[in-house]
Amino acid sequence: MLRLSWTTFTDRWALFLGAILTVCLGVALVQSSLLVLVSAATAGGEVTEAITLLAMTLGISAFLAVFIVSSTFAFTVAQRRRDLALLRLTGAARGQVRRLLLSEALLLGLLGTAAGVPLGLPVMRLQTWLLHDLGFVPAAFTPRWQDWILAVSAGTGTGVALIGVLAASRRAAKVRPLEALRETGAATRVMTAVRWFFGVLFLAGAVAMATVAAFAPPEGAVPLAINTALASAVALTALSPLVVPLAGRVAGLLLRGPLGRLAQANLRDGVRRSASTAAPLIVLVALLVAQAGTLATIAGGADLERRADIRGDLVVTTTGPSDLDTADTVHTGGVVSPESRVPITVVTRDEDGTETDEALAKVVDPGAYAAIHTRGPASGSLAALTGDTIAVADGSGALGDVVTARIGGSERNLRVVAVMPESLSGGVDFLLPSGVVPAGLLAAAPTESIVRLAPGAGPATVTTRGTVTTVDDWIATTGAAEQQTGTGIMTVLMGLSGLYALLAVINAVVIAAADRRREFAVARVTGLTRGQVVRAAVLESGLVTAIGLVLGGLAASATLAGISSAAARISGQAVLVVPWTLIAVVVLGAFLVVGVTSAVTALSATRPNPVSLTGAA
């Protein structure tokens, strides 16, 4: 079987080249993400955020590898229905057909792995550079090569290839050979029972996760967004053959002339081809738009939350506590709330074990803090924040708990007297009274003193006390910094993975055109010129691109609906930020890339003399 598989590969290399490329890129992405993740996990230091990002990146890479390779192999097998039918007619049993396809997948997996392992090294360097440039890892961080990654990469490449072709091989073996030759019966059925099952299953999962997202805490927003987008993309990819005929009818109302009618007919006749081409585009759009929209909505909700929370006019930034004391407060006729940020390590012990949380704490004056901020504790009271006490964020402890806190090298047992409500703006996890913080640590701590002036008072009394800005400008600057961080997260999560999905789109277009030489030749001998055939192919690809964009947008919408509900629940205000700029770039880029690829492949497919192709059976 391996010899026959190799012969098939050499004869139909154009179909298999794309499959090798997808396996190669999948192996490179998974290998790179895993090596950087393991190196970050063993490096120590402040790389917790990087570890979380890399774990999510690894999950996305693994999903894309399985999804894209599976859809590529399924499409490749579908393109070879007639070849497999001839094998069956010459005596090959169903089991032999399956073994042939699995042997081909094994060969392609090995070839893809052999190319993917060395490619993973520059991908790892690129991924590390991104983490360095965006500040998620220290400058000294360098991922280390691990010999065991060779076994993991080999298992990934061959495993993904075999899994990808397994379902397709079963379907191919079940089709009766005469039905495949005549293009009738089960050979032409695209919406199989398996497609219905997984489509409905993942659609239900996406709805469930979008519903859960509406009640999830902010820190669960990004993982839920990714999972909802992935589930929606899989569901709509499985159900996309239902949309292609409808799109064909819509196209028939809009398109006029022979080329438009030809593109419409090809779209409706090639349902499997159109659905397979749209599949990676659905995933690409769903992930990019959902991720960007989630981060932008959280940032927008955090901005609204801060503006509703702070009742102040000015922010004075200093190193260490400012000298805006009680006399200044009386002089201005308003309120001054100094808020210093210090590192803290909180150790919580319960029946489940010990949990250590390294974070930032705000050192505040309870009365002034309550006067400036409208969002009070969800339980407990800030008035009790004196002595050996602490206020914690929701989910970091319960009222009355005693936690061990390490602050500036000293360790103290602090009682939880208040639990602050969940917040989109993040910020600090703990509030401390000044008495529990060593004076040396407090003197070097960055401090923002929020000042509320009396009616008619001006900022003159505080202009010499530090860097002074208005509350509105301070909130805008803070939001811009968070938006920049969100962009960095988006780049790390989707930078290389998005490129992988885009290459899969190009690969699908190439595979689709590779088997259409005779179809294009028939169109030319019936009177169409070569240019007209190419334009019809480009027009058809534009319709397929529109299908992928619309379905990908629907998948992203499910995610954004859940995140918007969560942001509205937490901030108390309706908020939804749609990344229109990114959407415009994705839409224009998709039409451009698919259109150019379709034109180039159609030109290549129509280069031979049409009579020589139409005469070949």
| Mean pLDDT for back-to-back runs of 10 residues, the chain (617 residues) | 61 69 86 86 66 79 80 72 69 74 82 90 87 78 86 88 76 62 52 81 88 74 79 87 77 69 73 80 87 84 84 84 56 75 79 70 88 86 88 79 83 87 75 86 86 69 69 85 76 77 81 75 80 84 87 87 80 82 91 90 80 58
Q: Is 230 helix (H, G, I), strand (E, B) or coil?
A: helix
Residue 574 burial by CB count (10 A; 0-12/13-18/19+): exposed, middle or buried? exposed
Whether 422 maps to a domain, the answer reads: yes
Whether 526 maps to a domain, the answer reads: no
Query: Same domain, yes or no, for 178 and 323?
Result: no
What is the model's pLDDT at position 326?
44
Whether 586 maps to a domain, the answer reads: no
Query: Same domain, yes or no, for 184 and 326?
Result: no
Query: Same domain, yes or no, for 185 and 322?
Result: no
What is the residue whose two structure tokens read 């008072």?
457
Residue 399 to residue 385: CA distance in whole angstroms: 12
Token readout for 521 is: 């030749």
Give the DSSP per-residue string, 85-105: HHHHHTT--HHHHHHHHHHHH
Instruction: Give me the number of domains the chain comprises.
Output: 2
Listed residues 167, 189, 211: the one ending a domain: 189
Give Cβ neighbours of residue 191 (< 8 Å, ≥ 6 apart).
241, 242
What is the model's pLDDT at position 573?
76
* Of 170, 146, 165, the residue nearest 20 (C-alpha): 165
What is the residue whose two structure tokens read 């090298």?
409
| CA-angle at 276, arms to 247 and 211, nearest 5° | 75
Whether 72 maps to a domain, the answer reads: yes
Whether 492 maps to a domain, the answer reads: no
Residue 64 to residue 17: CA distance in whole angstroms: 18
Query: Same domain, yes or no, for 168 and 28?
Result: yes
In three-state form (DSSP H/G/I as H, E/B as E, the rest C), the secondary structure along 129-187 is HHHHHCCCCCCCCCCCCCCCHHHHHHHHHHHHHHHHHHHHHHHHHHCCHHHHHHCCHHH
Query: Within 13 Å, how many C-alpha atoms sit on residue 558's CB side?
Result: 31
**Which pLDDT tens digit goes with each residue over 509-523?**
887 776 777 777 777
The residue ranges of DSSP E strands in 351-409, in sequence order, are 353-363, 379-380, 389-393, 402-407
What is the model's pLDDT at position 588?
93
Q: What share of the chain is helix, strand, coil (3-state, %, to 5)?
A: 70, 10, 20
Whether 574 maps to a domain, the answer reads: no
State the Cα torsion 566-572-578-579 to the nearest 10°.
-90
Residue 568 to residue 73: CA distance in whole angstroms: 43
**Which pLDDT tens digit goes with each residue over 314-334?**
888 888 777 665 445 545 557
* Of 209, 263, 264, 204, the residue nearest 235 (C-alpha): 204
- Report yes or no: 448 and 362 within 8 Å, Cβ to Cβ: no
- Report yes or no: 452 and 335 within 8 Å, Cβ to Cβ: yes
What is the model's pLDDT at position 614?
64
Listed residues 189, 217, 247: the one ending a domain: 189
Whether 556 maps to a domain, the answer reads: no
Domain range enclosing 438: 314-452
Helix (H) or strand (E) holding 409: none
Token readout for 338 is: 């100094």
Paired sense of beta strands 389-393 and 410-420, if any? parallel
Token readout for 288 is: 């990019």
Within 10 angstroms of residue 406's Cβ, the number of other Cβ atoms is 15
Residue 98 to residue 94: CA distance in whole angstroms: 6
Query: Same domain, yes or no, for 47 and 183?
Result: yes
What is the model's pLDDT at position 175?
62
Residue 330 to residue 557: CA distance in whole angstroms: 52
Rg of the chain over CA atoms, in angstroms?
A: 30
Token readout for 335 is: 């309120």
Query: Same domain, yes or no, for 24 and 167?
Result: yes
- H helices present in 310-432, as ranges: 326-332, 366-372
What is the model's pLDDT at position 465?
59
Whether 10 maps to a domain, the answer reads: yes
Residue 84 to residue 97: CA distance in whole angstroms: 7
Listed residues 189, 213, 228: the one ending a domain: 189
What is the model's pLDDT at position 591?
92
